[in-house]
Amino acid sequence: MRLKGVVGLNAVCNKPVLNPINCSTSSDPEMLVWGDSYAMHLIPALLSSNEKAKIQQATFNGCMPLIGFASYSTTDTMECIKFNDQVLSWLEGSSVSHVLLASAFEPLVKSMKILDRDASAVNDGKGVARQGFQKLIDRIRLMGKIPVVFSPPPVSRKDFEQCYKSKFITKSDFTDCDYLITEIGESKIRISEILAENVNDNLINPTNFLCQEDRCISSIRNKMLFRRGGHLTVEGSEQLGIKINLYQEIMARH
């Protein structure tokens, strides 16, 4: 159970429909959490850093926040585009002041098939994704709202779940699952670099909090940080939120 997936406020929040009732902690939210499963796993971090957090969750698995385009999938590409349009439309008239954007952001660095509104593949998918994300940032700013981006966790190829389980058996400390900073995937490093170009000082890079000198931690206060695929666990997200005071860290950005 400690390694289960994180859906955020409610299981229904992983659908291509904005749900102001079941996916919000307030009728007048001050923060929008927008993205894919990498946004979902930040909800416990926000709530642990402020139990009175006023947030609206807008998340759909595999759907990077991007306007007019989406990475190809068998059934969800057009749903993703429609979902992001809906979220942007809702945002303009909302009480939200800060927009937290979180995703795997893989289309920014990987050669993936990108479709437009007509379900047509575009040339230079990486270039289109980068330009499209910058346009989204600009649209948010034009609304008078503040975009803040959270880059993906700095994980390695290590099988963290297997490592944690082996420590359970031997009753060892989870610090044995820590890893070298040189083991972080090159694509994740490049993603953070590109995101920094989009929002400058409004990027929150967890590498700065989880890695020191040549090593990165896999647990905080003996709470497991990662699931398979680089997602945070519920307990890991909660501990990270407390460690960096995440809610306040975002609301302080301008």
- Domain borders along the chain are 11-156+185-208+226-251
Output b/e per residue, 79-103; b: 16+ Cβ within 10 A.
Answer: bbbebbeebbeebeebebebbbbbb
The two tokens of residue 79 are 């749903």
pLDDT at res. 169: 86
The two tokens of residue 60 are 């759909």
How does DSSP assign 204-225, residue by residue? Answer: E-THHHHEETTEE-SEETTEE-
For the chain, residues with pLDDT lower than 50 are: none
The two tokens of residue 100 are 């937290």
Tell me the pairing of strands 179-180 and 215-216: antiparallel
pLDDT at res. 172: 86
CATH 3.40.50.1110 correct for 11-156+185-208+226-251: yes
Distance CA(234)–CA(34), nearest Å, equals: 18
pTM of the model: 0.95
Distance CA(132)–CA(107), nearest Å, equals: 11
pLDDT at res. 125: 92
Distance CA(159)–CA(230), nearest Å, equals: 10
CA 118 to chain centre: 27
pLDDT at res. 67: 93
pLDDT at res. 170: 87
Amino acid in the structure at residue 144 = G
pLDDT at res. 136: 97
